[in-house]
Amino acid sequence: MTALLLTGIGELTTNVADPDDPCGTRNDAAVLVRDGLVAWIGSTDAVDEALAASSTPAGPGAEVRVVDVGGRAVIPGFVDSHTHLVFAGDRAEEFSARMAGQAYAAGGIRTTVAATRAAADDELRERLATLVAECRAQGTTTLEIKTGYGLDVATESRLARLAAEATDEVTFLGAHVVAPEFADRPEAYVDLVVGDMLSAVAPLARWIDVFCEQGAFTAAQSRRVLEAGRAAGLGIRVHGNQLGPGAGAALAVEMGAAAVDHCTYLSDDDVTALAGSGTVATLLPGVEFSTRQPYPDARRLLDAGVTVALASDCNPGSSFTGSMPLMIALAVREMGMTPAEAVWAATAGGARALRRDDVGILAPGSRADLVLLDAPSRVHLAYRPGVPLVRSVWKDGVEV
Ligand code: NIG
Ligand code: FE
């Protein structure tokens, strides 16, 4: 395999933490990629020496493709730890109604469930591929994808199988809302989720998730779902505190979940509990943008010592965008994050939320998932909102 050497990097974000700079910034840097992994990082000045040395990091006799990026910035590929990308149809009318004053209450999920159940695999696969390509083009190299628009055993299994074709980070979200045919029997629906549905989907998934919120699942139901998932070998994550205060964050911390996502309405106790835990608070500002809800207070979480991730929540209802640059811009403008904190949260933070140490970081041995920006620094991601600054993307060392 040809090695790749990026030189002339004006600002390289490595996320190899240094007490003064969590982004591990290097200027005038070069990165050598071999076999899909980062092989070497150094200064542009040291490149010739590094290549000429007998222990050349490209390996003896290896061919090296050299790309001089002309002083531009390079960051790790975005790690989008929360998406719902397998579905059919859209809800543009619901969005228009919301912009005319209607509130978001997650009831539209059932509209997407009906469309998704009726869609053939090929239609869902094609739609998923289009959305994944949109995410990639905007710099996302690691994607979590949830089920949750099937809500019956056959469709949830189909969605998990399709998601697994696109990513290793598949999440079973049978407990998204109560399926329409169980509307007045929520406990019976939870029985199905933790029974036949979990048995069918668990072999295809890495995670289990539950929407712990008024109108979706209670704390007791959520605990049942998560316990069953854990017993089936899945890691746990939670949707919580999106539409109002609730038990989601506390439950996530108590159960050692990898992440609790949304976190728009947190009590002081929730923040204290998160700060002393291994649970990441994942903020999804695309939702507040698209539902006109108040943005979560990232500053409060960061100042308390909580690990914060940013993700897109791309779905047809509350946030129909997979753009991580947009999440960064919103987090900086509306949520009190510095550009450096937001870029970290969209890369290393997402990796923490997925309990991964091979992505979201650029260091020898990490995956060669890189984004070249058409800008001299990562600050431009927030400073130039809506501008397509992602110039090139490499996933596992291959340009996509
Ligand atoms: O994360 N909160 C629950 N689920 C999604 C919304 C899904 C939808 O509206 O279709 C979310 O925002
Ligand atoms: Fe979600």
Sites in the chain below the pLDDT cut of 50: 54
Claim to verify: residue 136 and residue 93 sit in the same structural domain:
yes
CATH of the domain at 226: 3.20.20.140
Claim to verify: residue 307 and residue 365 sit in the same structural domain:
no
- The pLDDT value recorded for residue 54 is 37
Claim to verify: residue 205 and residue 272 sit in the same structural domain:
yes
Strand pairing partners for 237?
209, 259
* Residue finishing a domain among 337, 353, 369: 353
Ligand nearest to the CA of 243: 1
Nearest to 353 by CA among 270, 269, 239, 265: 239
Claim to verify: residue 107 and residue 252 sit in the same structural domain:
yes
Q: Which atom of ligand 1 is nearest to the CA of 82?
A: 1
Tell me the CA end-to-end span of the chain in Å, nearest whole number. Answer: 16
* Cα 111 to Cα 25, 82, 94, 148, distances in angstroms: 45, 21, 10, 12
Claim to verify: residue 55 and residue 101 sit in the same structural domain:
no
CA 64 / ligand 2 centre spacing (Å):
42
Claim to verify: residue 299 and residue 392 sit in the same structural domain:
no
Claim to verify: residue 153 and residue 294 sit in the same structural domain:
yes
Claim to verify: residue 97 and residue 245 sit in the same structural domain:
yes
CA 280 / ligand 2 centre spacing (Å):
15
Claim to verify: residue 88 and residue 70 sit in the same structural domain:
no
Q: Which atom of ligand 1 is nearest to the CA of 213?
A: 2
CA 35 to chain centre: 25
- The pLDDT value recorded for residue 315 is 98
Site to probe by mutation for ligand 1, drawn from 102, 315, 320, 327 as the one with most ligand atoms within 8 Å of Cβ, is 315
Nearest to 246 by CA among 234, 260, 257, 230: 260
- The pLDDT value recorded for residue 253 is 98
Secondary structure, 3-state, 160-223: HHHHHHHCCEEEEEEECCCCHHHCCCHHHHHHHHHHHHHHHHHHHCCEEEEEECCCCECHHHHH
Claim to verify: residue 254 and residue 328 sit in the same structural domain:
yes
- The pLDDT value recorded for residue 317 is 97
Pocket (CB within 6 angstroms of ligand 1)? 106, 108-109, 112, 211, 239, 242, 287, 313, 315-318
- The pLDDT value recorded for residue 57 is 56
- The pLDDT value recorded for residue 107 is 83
Claim to verify: residue 288 and residue 143 sit in the same structural domain:
yes
Claim to verify: residue 17 and residue 142 sit in the same structural domain:
no
- What ranges make up the beta strands (E) of the chain? 3-13, 25-34, 37-43, 64-68, 73-76, 78-80, 140-146, 169-175, 207-212, 235-240, 259-262, 280-283, 308-310, 370-373, 390-395, 398-399
- How many domains, in total, are found in the chain? 2
Alpha-carbon distance of 49 to 32, in angstroms, equals 13
CA 380 / ligand 2 centre spacing (Å):
27
Q: Domain of residue 47: give its range.
A: 2-77+360-399
- The pLDDT value recorded for residue 60 is 57
CATH of the domain at 373: 2.30.40.10
Alpha-carbon distance of 326 to 286, in angstroms, equals 8
Counted residue by residue, the chain has a size of 400
CA 113 / ligand 1 centre spacing (Å):
12
- The pLDDT value recorded for residue 94 is 96
* Cα 385 to Cα 124, 134, 141, 206, 381, distances in angstroms: 31, 17, 20, 34, 6
CA 277 / ligand 1 centre spacing (Å):
25
Question: 0.95 exceeded by the pTM?
Answer: yes
What dihedral do alpha carbons 345, 346, 348, 349 form, nearest 10°? 50
By three-state DSSP, how is residue 136 classified? helix
